[in-house]
Amino acid sequence: MLGLHHLTAWDRAASRQCNRINHHRTGEVFALVSRLGDGWVWFALTAVLPLMHGEQALVVSLVMLGTGAVATVIYKLIKHSTHRLRPCESTPDLILTVAPLDRFSFPSGHTLHAVCFTIIACSAYPGWVWVLLPFTVLVGLSRLVLGLHYLSDVVVGAAIGGALATAAVLLFSMLGFSAWT
């Protein structure tokens, strides 16, 4: 069985390996993806869904916003209780392309929200999967490539986002909202 120090060493090595592709052009692309993942794409999506899919999509957008608010509270509580420093602070040889939004890394809020919003939107409107799934994967990768998160930060962020989205979709489908029935 692996000890915690082995898992930490593996996590750092994985993050360092992902960061190796962070050179000029690649870094710029991933920096753009990361900035879009700050919330701009998700706020735009909540506005666009009702315009494209009609009034019932307003419920989906509101569920996304409400779940996103809950996700923000949860990840901030975890971040501020674990105080895990970002890889760019603890591994000096990483290339940092963008400044972190805050000091701590665990879990990845970008990945958490991307997975959460993608699951909610695609569960109601499966046609969006072709746009949202690749973007969500790129958001998670951007956090690694840019040296802002460890692999475990991204994996745990995705798991929390997936769990929150699944709970929200199940709750609102049990309540009979037409987007999920």
pLDDT per residue as tens digits for the range 166-180? 999 998 888 877 776
Q: Out of 40-49, 71-80, 83-92, 167-176, which region has the weakest mean confidence (pLDDT)?
A: 83-92
**Residue whose structure tokens are 């962020």:** 157
How many alpha carbons fall within 13 Å on the CB side of residue 15? Answer: 30
Sign for the CA dihedral angle at 91, 97, 116, 17 comes to: negative
The b-or-e profile of 10-34 (16+ CB within 10 A means b, else e) is: ebbebbbebbeebeeeebeebbebb
Per-residue pLDDT band for 18 (boundaries 50, 70, 90) equals confident
pLDDT for 87-131, tens place per residue? 877 777 777 778 777 788 899 999 999 999 999 999 999 999 999
Range of the domain at 116: 4-180
Task: Give this prediction's pTM.
Answer: 0.90
Lowest mean pLDDT among 9-18, 48-57, 64-73, 135-144: 9-18
* Distance of alpha carbon 22 from alpha carbon 44, whole angstroms: 28
Burial class (CB in 10 A: 0-12, 13-18, 19+), 176: exposed
Task: Select the highest-mean-pLDDT range: 34-38, 40-44, 81-85, 92-96.
Answer: 40-44
φ, ψ at 104 (rounded to 5°): -105, 155
CATH of the domain at 17: 1.20.144.10
Q: What is the mean pLDDT of residues 68-72?
A: 95
Q: Total structural domains in the chain? A: 1
